[in-house]
């Protein structure tokens, strides 16, 4: 198996060589074997072990075993303790989900703190099959049937092509000691139930089940690649980007062969789950919205508008002191004194410095706000201005105001300047303010 792993890395994972690697190790046979294999091949590895405190003394014995293994092989070892059940209860999560998030968040911290380039996990072919069956029973799209990816960002799984039997046999043949997790024998958890009750029956029907599944997984991934190519082609035709929004042309979506399926592919990355509601937006009245945990999808006349989910009632103000020349939070502005005005546009305004009272403020709009729009007579409520300009709900939520210290609006940023701050005399100092995309 040592030679098979070496060949696999050389052919499929050559980028791992000479890199600083972190192995996620539980103490089980798979992660212990991965550690021995890569140590023998002289890879630059360290170990990371999470003690989730879920199995009492057994959890502590796992941690002790990993530390001793690190000393024996002269490998740097990191360990951490989590009060997993308390955290899961607090966050209203299952224990498994909480443990997974804690684990991977810690890995990212280790990557940043110690400059690791990849985290290696010991998932193998049987894990891959079990994940496929779990997703199949719960219901999933095509991506849920393609199994565990061998490479996913910083996460790499070098043993994914090897079976549990191969791994255990290698350990026994080389007198490698590992920790046995007694909870793996219980059918309390769905994965264990599939591992002990379903997979054995499938292997009776087809002794070459893992090989057959590997072929099926390859075919599904190839099909998924074709779909992704098609989605990219369709996206270029029906999606446009404006400021911080994506706009989807409703009429063009409805012309597609299966609008609901296309919407799923186009929007799945934004964490929407209620795709019947998303699909119904196509025929909904303007103003109707669907929310995910991270984004808002709004029906606005002939478009669906996608935006990050930002609270519209925030009144937090960001101050700009005199002589500041650049602002990066909450938006990117540059401020400079110039000799004369040049062409104005929605991204740039020129103001008379003598009218500015510092510190200036950046804030979101509120009910009751008004200003004196350039090119118009008199003052106008901001809500009426937005309505007249046909600015959508999402655009309003994401609009920032540049205000004087006394809260007078200088600029509805990206839209219209207030005429009280215009430069009317050449001899007055002129300030140029630019919104940088």
Structure-token pair, residue 118: 């990849």
Instruction: Give a yes or no: residue 233 inside a domain.
Output: no
Instruction: Give a yes or no: residue 231 inside a domain.
Output: no
Instruction: Give a yes or no: residue 167 inside a domain.
Output: yes
Residues 141, 270: one domain? Answer: no
d(CA 292, CA 187): 34
Quote the pLDDT of residue 219: 94
Instruction: Give a yes or no: residue 227 inside a domain.
Output: no
**Model pLDDT for residues 140-173, shown as the tens digit of each residue:** 878 889 989 999 999 999 999 999 999 999 999 9
Token pair 């991977």 is found at 104
Residues 49, 99: one domain? Answer: yes
State the total domains in the chain.
Answer: 3
Quote the pLDDT of residue 329: 83
Cβ atoms of 405 and 358 within 8 Å: the answer is yes
Helix (H, G, I), strand (E, B) or coil at 251: helix
d(CA 189, CA 96): 10
The edge-to-edge listing of strands for the beta sheet with 245-249 is: 239-242, 245-249, 303-308, 295-300, 289-291
Instruction: Give a yes or no: residue 158 inside a domain.
Output: yes
Alpha-carbon separation of residue 179 from 32, 57, 71, 322 (angstroms)? 9, 13, 16, 64
- Pairing mode, if any, of strands 44-51 and 77-81? parallel
Final residue in a domain of this structure, among 260, 288, 308: 308
CATH number of the domain where residue 126 is located = 3.40.50.620
Residues 276, 391: one domain? Answer: no
d(CA 375, CA 389): 14
Residues 188, 253: one domain? Answer: no
Quote the pLDDT of residue 315: 53
d(CA 398, CA 306): 12
Q: What is the CA radius of gyration of the chain?
A: 29
d(CA 168, CA 182): 16
Residues 41, 148: one domain? Answer: yes
Residues 399, 371: one domain? Answer: yes
Instruction: Give a yes or no: residue 50 inside a domain.
Output: yes
Start-to-end CA span in the chain (Å) = 53
CA-angle at 181, arms to 122 and 69, nearest 5°:
60
**Model pLDDT for residues 77-95, shown as the tens digit of each residue:** 999 999 999 999 988 888 8
The edge-to-edge listing of strands for the beta sheet with 326-327 is: 326-327, 333-338, 430-435, 348-352
Residues 328, 301: one domain? Answer: no
Range of the domain at 146: 2-217
Biggest distance spanned by C-alpha atoms of the chain: 91
Cα 399 to the chain's mean position, in Å? 24
Residues 63, 161: one domain? Answer: yes
Q: Which residues of the chain have pLDDT under 50?
A: 312-314
Strands (E), 321-388: 326-327, 333-338, 348-352, 360-364, 370-371, 380-381
Residues 198, 295: one domain? Answer: no
Quote the pLDDT of residue 312: 42
Quote the pLDDT of residue 43: 96
What is the pTM assigned to this prediction? 0.66
Phi, psi of 332 (to 5 degrees): -100, 110
Instruction: Give a yes or no: residue 238 inside a domain.
Output: no
d(CA 12, CA 232): 26
CATH number of the domain where residue 365 is located = 3.50.40.10
Final residue in a domain of this structure, among 285, 308, 331: 308
Residues 328, 423: one domain? Answer: yes
Final residue in a domain of this structure, among 308, 329, 362: 308
Residues 114, 152: one domain? Answer: yes
Instruction: Give a yes or no: residue 85 inside a domain.
Output: yes
Residues 299, 177: one domain? Answer: no
Q: How many CB atoms lie within 10 A of CB 156?
A: 21
- Give every CB contact of residue 293 below 8 A, 6+ residues apart in sequence: 271, 309
């Amino acid at each position: 198996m040592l030679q098979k792993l070496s060949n696999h890395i050389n052919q499929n994972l050559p980028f791992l060589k000479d890199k600083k690697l972190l192995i996620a190790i539980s103490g089980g046979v798979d992660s212990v074997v991965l550690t021995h294999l890569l140590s023998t091949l002289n890879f630059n590895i360290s170990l990371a072990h999470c003690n989730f405190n879920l199995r009492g003394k057994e959890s502590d014995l796992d941690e002790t075993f990993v530390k001793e293994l690190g000393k024996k092989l002269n490998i740097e070892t990191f360990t951490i303790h989590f009060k997993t059940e308390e955290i899961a209860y607090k966050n209203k999560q299952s224990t498994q989900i909480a443990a997974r998030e804690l684990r991977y968040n810690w890995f990212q911290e280790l990557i940043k703190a110690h400059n690791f380039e990849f985290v290696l996990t010991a998932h193998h072919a049987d894990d891959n099959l079990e994940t496929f069956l779990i997703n199949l029973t719960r219901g999933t799209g095509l991506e849920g049937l393609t199994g565990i990816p061998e490479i996913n960002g910083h996460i790499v799984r070098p043993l994914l092509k090897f079976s549990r039997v191969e791994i255990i046999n290698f350990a026994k043949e080389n007198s490698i000691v590992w920790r046995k997790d007694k909870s793996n024998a219980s059918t309390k958890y769905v994965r264990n139930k599939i591992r002990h009750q379903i997979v054995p029956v499938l292997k009776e029907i087809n002794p070459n089940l893992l090989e057959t599944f590997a072929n099926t997984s390859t075919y599904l991934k190839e099909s998924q690649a074709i779909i992704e190519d098609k989605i990219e082609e369709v996206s270029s035709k029906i999606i446009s980007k404006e400021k911080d929004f994506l706009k989807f042309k409703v009429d063009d979506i409805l012309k597609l062969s299966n609008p609901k399926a296309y919407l799923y592919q186009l929007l799945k990355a934004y964490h929407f789950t209620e795709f019947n509601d998303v699909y119904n937006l196509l025929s909904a009245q303007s103003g109707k919205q669907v929310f995910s945990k991270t984004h808002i999808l709004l029906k606005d006349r002939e478009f669906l508008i996608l935006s990050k989910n930002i609270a519209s009632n925030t009144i937090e103000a960001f101050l700009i002191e005199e002589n500041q020349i650049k602002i990066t939070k909450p938006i990117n502005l540059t401020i400079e004194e110039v000799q004369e005005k040049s062409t104005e546009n929605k991204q740039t305004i020129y103001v008379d410095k003598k009218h500015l009272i510092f510190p200036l403020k950046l804030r979101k709009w509120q009910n009751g706000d008004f200003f004196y729009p350039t090119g118009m007579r008199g003052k106008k409520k901001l809500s009426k201005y937005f309505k007249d300009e046909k600015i959508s709900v999402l655009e309003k939520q994401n609009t920032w105001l540049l205000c004087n210290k006394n809260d007078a609006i200088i600029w509805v940023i990206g839209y219209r300047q207030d005429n009280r701050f215009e430069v009317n005399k050449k001899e007055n100092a002129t300030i140029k303010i630019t919104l940088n995309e």
